[in-house]
Each structure stands twice: as C-alpha cells, then as structure tokens.
Amino acid sequence: MSFNNLDTLYRQVIMDHYKTPRNKGKLEGDHITVELNNPTCGDRIDLQLKVEDGVVQDAKFEGEGCSISMASASMMTQVIIGKSVDDAVKISHMFSEMMLGHEVDTSEYKLEDLGDIQALQGVSKFPARIKCATLAWKAMEQGVEKEQ
C-alpha cells in the first residue's frame, strides 16, 4: 500500500486518542475556560482547566477538528493533570520545539516521561499540520496565564 509515509504522521496511538479521547467533556465547579480556533481550517477547542495552588488539578476539553488536533488535545490533558503550572508551560515549550523539528531540551523532562505525546513527533515532517497539533497547547498556555 502506498501510504507507508503516512504512518509517520498517523501512529496507532494517535488514532487511539482520536477515537477514544481522554478527558473529553466539561468540568464542574470553578474553572478557567479557553476557547481557541484555528481560523484557517476551522479546528476548535474549548479547554477547561482547574488550577489550585499553582497546580493543574484537572483538565477537560471539547471541540472539533482533525485527528491530529483532537489527539493532541487528549494527550495534552493527560500530561498536564497533576503538574505545576510552571512545568505544564515548560512541557508545552518542549512540545513546540518538537513540532518545529528542533532539538528538545530534556534536562528536566525526558520525552519518554511525557507519555503519548512522543507519538506526535512525526507531525514535524508535515508543516501544514503543525498548527493542528499545537492548538490545544496554545489554549493551555493561555489558560494558565489567565490564572496567574
């Protein structure tokens, strides 16, 4: 089959997150909400964060978009729950570097500690899709900024 190169982009784990997103839904009680669109393509995420004492206690998202954007959102919530706001932002920066195909600073966090998001590494080879992958992370950064 002529789609071998697509497997770099669409890893099994990405498809799993797309089909069975983690932390999809709405948060109850006090929380921060960020809604972000990708204006060029219509991807939309509605991210809710519960931050207490500088720690992301909980995160949920709703939205619509392609497999990459929705899988990335699902993976992002998984990684940041339980992390301090500082660490969440640090990981987000690592993720941006990864998307740009840059060498990632792993002095504090190793990629393998970041769970499923490693699977998105292949996106960097598809420049048109990087924005899909980073949408949820941008929303998260805006959200924690609101809190501070």
Distance between CA atoms of 101 and 41, rounded to whole angstroms? 22
Distance between CA atoms of 63 and 129, rounded to whole angstroms? 17
Both tokens assigned to 73: 């959102």
Specify the DSSP element, H or E, that contains 56: strand 55-64
Which residues in the 60-89 window bind other proteins by CB under 8 A?
64-68
Q: Does residue 111 bind other proteins (CB under 8 A)?
A: no
Specify the DSSP element, H or E, that contains 83: none
List, in sequence order, the alpha helices (H) in 20-84. 67-80
Q: How far is the CB of 10 from other proteins (least distance, A)?
A: 6
Q: Does residue 128 bind other proteins (CB under 8 A)?
A: yes
Q: Does residue 19 bind other proteins (CB under 8 A)?
A: yes
Applying CB under 8 A, which of residues 1, 29, 30, 148 lies at the interface with other proteins?
1
Q: What does each C-alpha distance from 40 to 65, 67, 73, 127, 131 come to in angstroms?
A: 12, 16, 18, 14, 10
Tell me the number of residues near other proteins by CB under 8 A.
24
Q: Does residue 3 bind other proteins (CB under 8 A)?
A: yes
Applying CB under 8 A, which of residues 62, 111, 126, 142 lies at the interface with other proteins?
126
Residues that bind other proteins (CB under 8 A): 1-3, 5-6, 9-10, 12, 15, 19, 40-44, 64-68, 126, 128-129, 132
